[in-house]
Structure 1
Amino acid sequence: MIDTTRIFSITSEKEFQTLALDVFKFQFENNAVYRSFCDLLYKHPSDVKQIRDIPFLPIQFFKSHQVLSSQTPIQETFSSSGTTGTTTSKHYVTDLSIYEQSFRKGFEQFYGNIKDYVILALLPSYLEREGSSLIYMVNDMINASEHVESGFYLNTINDLKQQLTALDANGKKVLLIGVSFALLDLVESHQFKLQNTIIMETGGMKGRRKEMVRDELHTILKSGFGVSKVHSEYGMTELLSQAYSLGDGRFKCPSWMRILTRDPEDALTLLNNEKTGGINIIDLANINSCSFIATQDLGRTYKNHSFDVIGRFDSSDIRGCNLMVL
């Protein structure tokens, strides 16, 4: 077993590397799906001496298999939204406390104490279905903020406009987190000049609008909200951790999460920094599922472990929690 306290107490690159190798060995031995995948690649723990040697499980396996490294009962099944007629991903979570630690500590690492913020959530597409890991996270944030004004907004844009304007004018620190199409709907109906509010988009048009590149989206949102920056959250059903962009377009990971990029033409070859490739994610909070995932997103990494999300592979689905498609 892996002591989960090690995951959220990482303070150095050496600690991350050591724990990642330990998690790989644990999941190789305890995750039948991942073990079979590694066997097909002839990758055994004795062959894996560094992170770059670890096989990354294609994210599509979360659609077709039960990806589990734990024998304990499943507490929650998170599912992706998908589109009509598509197969959705399912993430079977056996310990919700690990997810809660991950998103709470991750948010605090970048934004400080949640109690300092009023949380306004404009996530209509997620509220309209069950099994959203994003709704689970934001609901916890709303409760933890301890502000009576915090809450979800479904299709009540006028109410949100009044609440947001009043809170900002009163000097309250506000975090407005929303799916892209809903934030666009809001600024098309109302114009703002916000001084104390962070705008955070979670990506995705959910089939409600045409997809657009992130720069175009952020330009419209900055103008509409009267802010100089728009923040972004990068997460997905298959992960228990999130990366954040604080308005400069680059995402940063919490200390237990890393991004690598792979050659689009050769999935087993990893690329150096600043080269565009498929995004591979190490999420050590995924201790009870799989911590090593090859996504369908395209991006670039940088020396300080930050990364860009550029788009998606042409053949992949547009998924709810992901960012823009070129």
Structure 2
Amino acid sequence: MSDLQNIEPQPSHLEYHVPVLYAETLDGLNIQADGVYVDCTFGGGGHGRGILKNLGEAGRLIAFDQDADAVKNIPEDSRVTFVPQNFRHLQRFLRLHKVSKVNGVLADLGVSSHQFDEGERGFSIRFDGPLDMRMDQRQSLTAATIVATYSELQLHKMFEHFGEVSNSKTLAKHIVEARKQMQVQTILQFRAMISSVVKGNPNKYLAQVFQALRIEVNAEMEALKEMLLQLNDVVEVGGRVAIITFHSLEDRLVKLFLKNGGFDDEVDDNPFVQHTKVPRWKLVTKKPITATADELKKNTRSRSAKLRVAERV
């Protein structure tokens, strides 16, 4: 069977999203009944509903999600405030809702099962559909636009940095040449375009290519950096953050931030200058928490999930 025949039929009546590391995340947040908590990636609401169960009447949940589909999952609960925005605007919208400090922040950085299983969103290699990949349908940049307009150098760097694609330079050159002959608007067309340069395991290769496109379309690394930096001001002393990552690029950023309170890892080596770094975060988990064998059996998408928990000091 050829690679292009591996397109699956569109699924129906699937659960919106199975939250990964559910119990571990809620436990890590150490939820206070009257606290204010932020779910930066509400999605199907699995983690958010878990937070609500642990809140009393005075508690509050601020739920962010840039995907319009997520609004359908907001529970009718007066304690919930939904913000239909990217979490990179965290502090701005908290202020808008008269919140200056919170007791905890959760961010599940994975693409939801719903987004992967909706062929028309273009996130998955398994279904045909538009080569889209926008988390926020209000923005104009799509994966198809990137494939059609980015320079060879831009494509090379994108696939190299965001997908760690082994032959990223060859892939970029091939796309630039191939697009002179064909326009790519769908997943099937894109897979056909690059089929001759796929290396190794086709599914793994395509997953890396799609990851790179998705990260670029949604400016995911920039958004994550912006959100993390705001945590220094937003989280109350003693409050906690629980962040779930799904690939090494995200995890490196989160690890560096929790260690340094920022991303400037360079230190002036002048021997006459004394550096006193005031710690901002205390690691609750020295090593990232990963899925148990039982969870891996029930939800294969949890296999790459890493949870890091830290407390504001």
Structure with greater proportional helix content = 2
Fold shared per TM-score above 0.5 = no
TM-score, structure 2 as length reference? 0.34
TM-score, structure 1 as length reference? 0.33
